[in-house]
């Protein structure tokens, strides 16, 4: 039988096939022009949000990283995974147990008797093939994966805080602009009412203006509602009950700086994305669990030791001992559970590899979308700024014509309203550019 065991062992690959990194579709560069002009080393900036030069944003992110509940959950999961390493490693260590006992017996006419005993047992399954080692390596890979999960959660948290804060600043500035638009509309209404009383215009024009004021008032209420919702969302990100956070009003135009994105971003930078790192470590974990399952088909060797003593007198208990050591050999000739476990592990490895490829493919999409959106919104900004300059010139000309009596006050109001509408579009465009920049940071794994 032993010869057969040795033959079995000699024909079995103890480590299984060597681990190979999972292949995924490669991408040499991005669709944006100039890709590949900078190195991945040049793109590392762990505190990238500070480039926006906003002290309030820096403070909010610091609070969120410290107090966000979801991030604390991820930390706890990492600690749990680290503790589990010891649990897995303990399975390969010797187990020692000790005990002691005493019995007393009393019979009428015979007298009483007593007996004392001690017992110690030792059991140890020798890890000759490295099965326990593979289990430990699998759990270590899981620890690395949970650490990457924390990094992914951290990156998402920072991005969400930044985008939400930018939206709040946009709503603050939009509120001021909308209030000005509403004020101009009310002045236009007064002018129209005077013209209607003089018979210059029909009453329908006055009614149209009143309806427009109603719409603008509704829009103002909607902006304030959206700000309150965004503030509640930010409170949750900071680990604070919604309604308990108050963000001081600010302006997006003056309080936040647009960041220039480098002309070229290397595609290999994507591989540092924490979700990709986590997926790759989970492939490694599945590989090690499969190797462990393969090694479970090999014979296992163990040692069982027992030692003890017994005496009718407590004083004589330690005077004599009996010791025994028994080696054991377990050969899994037919064990459906072992074979089933191997099949499950191999299937889970395939799942982990495909999930890794899926994460990589989605990451490419995230970066491409962020680059497309950012480039498009920057091009739109050029057109909006040109439009804004032209409308400001028109407004200046109309004001001069008003002083010369060439136009009416109504035309001045209409010109100012068009100018404010464009200013609001420019404001929204800046918020989109800032948010696109944040999403690009997140898509690339954070920082450049």
The pLDDT score that the predictor gives to residue 181 is 86
The pLDDT score that the predictor gives to residue 322 is 64
Q: Facing residues of 324 across strands?
A: 306
Is the separation of the CB atoms in 81 and 139 below 8 Å?
A: yes
Of 378, 270, 265, nearest to 33 by C-alpha is 265
Q: What dihedral angle (degrees, nearest 10) is formed by the CA atoms of 47, 48, 52, 53?
A: 30
Decide if pLDDT at 287 tops 60.
Answer: yes
Q: What is the pTM of this model?
A: 0.81
The pLDDT score that the predictor gives to residue 296 is 81
| Percent of the chain topping pLDDT 90 | 46
The CA distance from 436 to 370, in Å, is: 6
The pLDDT of 37-62, averaged and rounded, is 75
Q: For 342-387, what is each residue's pLDDT tens digit?
A: 899 999 999 999 999 999 999 999 989 999 999 999 999 999 999 9
The pLDDT score that the predictor gives to residue 376 is 95
pLDDT band at 25 (very low <50, low <70, confident <90, very high): confident
Q: Which CATH architecture has domain 24-92+127-297+332-443?
A: Up-down Bundle (1.20)
In three-state secondary structure terms, 295 is helix
Helices 131-197 and 203-237 pack at an angle, to 10 degrees, of 160
The pLDDT score that the predictor gives to residue 188 is 84
The pLDDT score that the predictor gives to residue 212 is 87
> Tokens representing 90?
């303990």
pLDDT band at 13 (very low <50, low <70, confident <90, very high): low
* Spatial strand order in the sheet of 322-330: 95-107, 111-126, 300-311, 322-330
Q: Who's near 299: CB < 8 A, 6+ residues apart?
A: 5, 8, 9, 329, 330, 331, 332
Max mean pLDDT range (123-132, 219-228, 400-409, 415-424): 219-228
The CA distance from 7 to 137, in Å, is: 28
Least confident of 74-78, 260-264, 302-306: 302-306
| Percent of the chain topping pLDDT 70 | 75
Least confident of 205-219, 248-262, 386-400, 405-419: 405-419
The CA distance from 288 to 133, in Å, is: 9
Cα atoms found within 13 Å of the Cα of residue 165, Cβ hemisphere only: 27
Q: For 82-135, what is each residue's pLDDT tens digit?
A: 999 888 777 766 666 666 655 656 555 555 666 656 666 666 666 678 788 888
pLDDT band at 209 (very low <50, low <70, confident <90, very high): confident
The CA distance from 131 to 92, in Å, is: 9
The CA distance from 378 to 375, in Å, is: 5
Decide if pLDDT at 279 tops 70.
Answer: yes
Decide if pLDDT at 267 tops 50.
Answer: yes
Q: Which one has a higher pLDDT value, 267 or 48?
A: 48
Max mean pLDDT range (65-69, 89-93, 287-291, 405-409): 65-69
The pLDDT score that the predictor gives to residue 448 is 60
Q: Which one has a higher pLDDT value, 367 or 311?
A: 367
Separation of first and last alpha carbons in the chain? 64
Domain segments of the chain as ranges: 24-92+127-297+332-443, 95-126+298-331
Topology (CATH level 3) of domain 95-126+298-331: Outer membrane efflux proteins (OEP) (2.20.200)
Q: How far is CA 323 from the centre of its chain?
A: 57
pLDDT band at 323 (very low <50, low <70, confident <90, very high): low
Of 271, 341, 329, nearest to 299 by C-alpha is 329
Of 425, 417, 415, 441, nearest to 381 by C-alpha is 425
Average of per-residue pLDDT values in the chain: 82
The pLDDT of 408-437, averaged and rounded, is 88
The pLDDT of 414-443, averaged and rounded, is 91
């Amino acid at each position: 039988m032993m010869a057969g065991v040795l033959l079995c062992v000699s024909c079995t690959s103890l480590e299984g096939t060597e681990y190979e990194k999972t292949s995924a579709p490669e991408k040499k560069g991005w669709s944006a022009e100039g890709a590949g002009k900078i190195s991945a080393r040049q793109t590392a900036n762990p505190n990238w949000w500070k480039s926006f030069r906003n002290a309030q944003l820096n403070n909010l992110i610091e609070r969120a990283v410290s107090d966000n509940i979801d991030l604390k959950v991820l930390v706890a999961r990492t600690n749990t995974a680290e503790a589990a390493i010891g649990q897995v490693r303990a399975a390969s260590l010797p187990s020692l147990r000790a005990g002691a006992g005493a019995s007393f017996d009393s019979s009428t006419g015979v007298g009483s008797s007593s007996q004392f005993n001690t017992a110690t047992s030792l059991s140890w399954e020798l890890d000759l093939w490295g099965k326990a080692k593979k289990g430990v390596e699998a759990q270590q890979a899981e620890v690395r994966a949970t650490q990457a999960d924390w990094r992914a959660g951290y990156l998402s948290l920072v991005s969400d805080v930044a985008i939400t804060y930018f939206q709040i600043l946009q709503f603050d500035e939009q509120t001021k602009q909308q209030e000005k638009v509403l004020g101009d509309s009310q002045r236009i209404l007064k002018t129209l009412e005077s013209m209607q009383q003089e018979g210059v215009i029909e009453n329908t024009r006055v009614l149209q203006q009143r309806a427009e004021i109603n719409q603008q008032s509704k829009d103002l209420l909607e902006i304030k509602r959206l700000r309150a919702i965004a503030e509640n969302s930010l409170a949750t990100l900071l680990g604070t009950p919604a309604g308990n956070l108050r963000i001081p009003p600010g302006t997006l135009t003056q309080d936040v700086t647009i960041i220039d994105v480098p002309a070229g971003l290397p595609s290999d930078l994507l591989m540092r994305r924490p979700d990709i790192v986590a997926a790759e470590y989970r492939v490694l974990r599945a590989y090690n669990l499969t190797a462990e399952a393969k090694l479970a088909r090999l014979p296992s060797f163990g040692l069982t030791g027992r030692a003890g003593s017994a005496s009718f007198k407590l004083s004589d208990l330690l005077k004599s001992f009996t010791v025994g050591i028994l080696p054991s050999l377990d050969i899994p000739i037919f064990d459906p559970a072992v074979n089933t476990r191997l099949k499950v592990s191999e299937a889970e490895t395939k799942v982990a590899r495909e999930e890794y490829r899926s994460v990589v493919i989605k990451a490419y999409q995230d970066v491409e979308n962020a680059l497309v959106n950012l480039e498009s919104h920057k091009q739109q900004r050029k057109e909006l700024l040109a439009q804004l300059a032209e409308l400001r010139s028109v407004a200046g000309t109309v004001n001069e014509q008003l002083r010369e009596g060439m136009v009416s006050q109504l035309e001045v109001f209409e010109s100012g309203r068009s100018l404010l509408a464009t200013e609001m579009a420019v404001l929204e465009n800046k918020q989109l550019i800032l948010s696109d920049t944040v999403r690009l940071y997140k898509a690339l794994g954070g920082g450049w």
